[in-house]
């Protein structure tokens, strides 16, 4: 009788210890929300070897089933925010995503991982870099091969993104992209190759670091304003000012400026030649757009690296233009859209381009 009571006590104790260890382990693991938007990472190909596939074909739960190991390092919660090829990314998804990220980071989320197509990942990353109001890690991840491909890069990228998201040293780094074992800053992100798994680079500053052996190793951090140090807030916005990009090249005319004026755009970013230079026709049309229609103009460059600097061949002050400095045309468009929610003054816009 006594023996049976003792066995019951021991069994009860063992059960209690197991429950406590599971609970403490769960408590010890951080909570990471995975927000899915589509892209190749959620793509499905006809076979494991052919190139063709449909982006955004599988759900976030199907996507995560390919990388069960993330449950060993984090408490995972998942939401489907959209399921599109990122060539169709748009202002409404951006606003929905930024607001949801801020809500979750104000609740039980210790970090956010966003799965996203690679075509416009650099634009979404920079938009979030300027609108997330938390220093908790927010990491975008994509893939260059569909989930059904041999050596699909998505599962490894997702694991690395979650491992980076739960690392204490990832706090305060701004929005990042984790792909191909690299940690890349949203402040200088560019897709540099149409097909390669190593496509994403930080062409001016170099990567923030690497992911090695399931841990992030940081080798630089951003000097640009971002997240909690950003003055931009989309909480009460339901739309964003329309800004278009106009390319310059030999013999470029005023054609697209005239169209932009007719469309009542609020801002124009130019992807100029060299240090943001423009044909005379184009420059004259832009000067009129500023002076006669109050359109904000920011000069950027089609060149991959180096700044679009002030005080060179173009007198920005005389024309009422701003120079983009280290922001390429795509980040410049994002920054000008947000700048125009606060000001139309070109000198104030210039300050913003020097700080973000
Ligand atoms: N449809 C493209 C996109 O969603 C494919 C590129 C990719 O995700 O790798 O961005």
- Whether residue 35 has its Cβ less than 6 Å from ligand 1: no
Q: 29-229 and 243-355: same fold?
A: yes
Q: What is the pLDDT of residues 124-144, one digit of tens each?
A: 999 999 999 999 999 999 999
**Residues 299, 324 contacting (CB under 8 angstroms):** yes
Domains of the chain by residue range: 29-229, 243-355
Calculate mean pLDDT across residues 321-349: 98
Q: Does residue 39 line the site of ligand 1, with CB under 6 A?
A: yes
Q: 68-115: per-residue pLDDT in tens?
A: 999 999 999 999 999 999 999 999 999 999 999 999 999 999 999 999
- 119 Cα nearest atom in ligand 1: 10
CA–centroid distance, residue 114 to ligand 1 (Å) = 14
Q: Taking 70 as the threshold, does the pLDDT of residue 296 lie above it?
A: yes
- Give tens-digit pLDDT for 5-64: 777 887 777 777 666 655 555 558 999 999 999 987 776 766 777 677 666 667 778 888
Tell me: pLDDT of 237 over 60.
Answer: yes
The three state secondary structure string of 244-300 is EEEECCCCCCCHHHHHHHHCCCCEEEEEEECCCECCHHHHHHHHHHHHHHCCEEEEE
Q: State the pTM of this model.
A: 0.92
The contacts of residue 280 (CB under 8 Å, 6+ apart) are: none
pLDDT, tens digit, 9 for 90 and up, residues 107-123: 999 999 999 999 999 99
Counting from 1 in the atom list of ligand 1, the atom nearest the Cα of 43 is 8
pLDDT of residue 56: 66
% of the chain exceeding 90 in pLDDT: 83
* Segment 198-236, tens digit of pLDDT: 999 999 999 999 999 999 999 999 999 999 999 999 999
Q: Which fold has domain 243-355?
A: Rossmann fold (3.40.50)
Contact status, residue 193 vs residue 105, Cβ threshold 8 Å: no
With a 6 Å cutoff on the Cβ, whether 40 touches ligand 1 is yes
Domain 29-229: which CATH number of 3.90.1750.10, 1.10.260.40, 3.10.310.10, 3.40.50.1170:
3.40.50.1170
Contact 196, 160 (CB under 8 A): no
204 within 8 A of 306, measured Cβ to Cβ: yes
Taking the CA of residue 85 as reference, the ligand 1 atom at the shortest distance is: 4
Q: Indicate if 31 belongs to the active site.
A: no
Tell me, what's the pLDDT at 13?
75
- Residue 37 Cβ < 6 Å to ligand 1: no
Contact 85 CB / ligand 1 (< 6 Å):
yes
């Amino acid at each position: 009788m006594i023996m049976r009571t003792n066995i019951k006590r021991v069994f009860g104790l063992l059960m209690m210890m197991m429950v406590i260890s599971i609970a403490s382990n769960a408590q010890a693991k951080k909570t990471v929300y995975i927000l899915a938007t589509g892209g190749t990472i959620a793509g499905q190909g006809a076979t494991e070897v052919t190139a063709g596939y449909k982006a955004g074909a599988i759900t976030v739960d199907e996507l995560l089933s390919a990388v069960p190991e993330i449950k060993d390092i984090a408490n995972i919660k998942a939401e489907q925010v959209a399921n599109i090829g990122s060539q169709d990314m748009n202002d409404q998804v951006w606003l929905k995503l930024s607001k949801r990220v801020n809500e979750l980071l104000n609740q039980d989320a210790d970090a956010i991982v966003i799965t996203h197509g690679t075509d416009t990942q650099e634009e979404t990353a920079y938009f979030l870099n300027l609108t997330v109001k938390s220093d908790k890690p927010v990491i975008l991840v994509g893939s260059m091969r569909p989930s059904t491909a041999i050596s699909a890069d998505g599962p490894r990228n997702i694991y690395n993104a979650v491992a980076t998201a739960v690392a204490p040293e990832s706090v305060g780094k701004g929005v990042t992209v984790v792909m191909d074992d690299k940690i890349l800053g949203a402040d200088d992100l560019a897709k540099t190759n149409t097909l390669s798994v190593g496509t994403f680079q930080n062409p001016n500053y170099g990567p923030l670091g690497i992911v090695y052996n399931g841990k992030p190793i940081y080798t630089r951090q951003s000097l640009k304003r971002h997240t909690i140090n950003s003055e931009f807030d989309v909480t009460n916005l339901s739309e964003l000012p329309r800004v278009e990009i106009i390319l310059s090249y030999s013999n470029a005319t005023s054609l697209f400026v005239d169209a932009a004026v007719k469309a009542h755009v609020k801002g124009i970013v130019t992807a100029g030649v060299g240090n943001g230079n423009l044909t005379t026709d184009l420059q004259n049309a832009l000067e009129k757009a500023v002076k006669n229609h109050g359109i904000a103009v920011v000069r950027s460059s089609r060149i991959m690296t180096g700044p679009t600097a002030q005080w060179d061949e173009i007198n920005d002050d005389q024309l009422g233009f701003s120079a983009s400095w280290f922001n390429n045309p795509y980040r410049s468009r994002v920054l000008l859209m947000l700048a125009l929610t606060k000001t139309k003054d070109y000198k104030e816009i210039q300050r913003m381009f020097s700080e973000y």
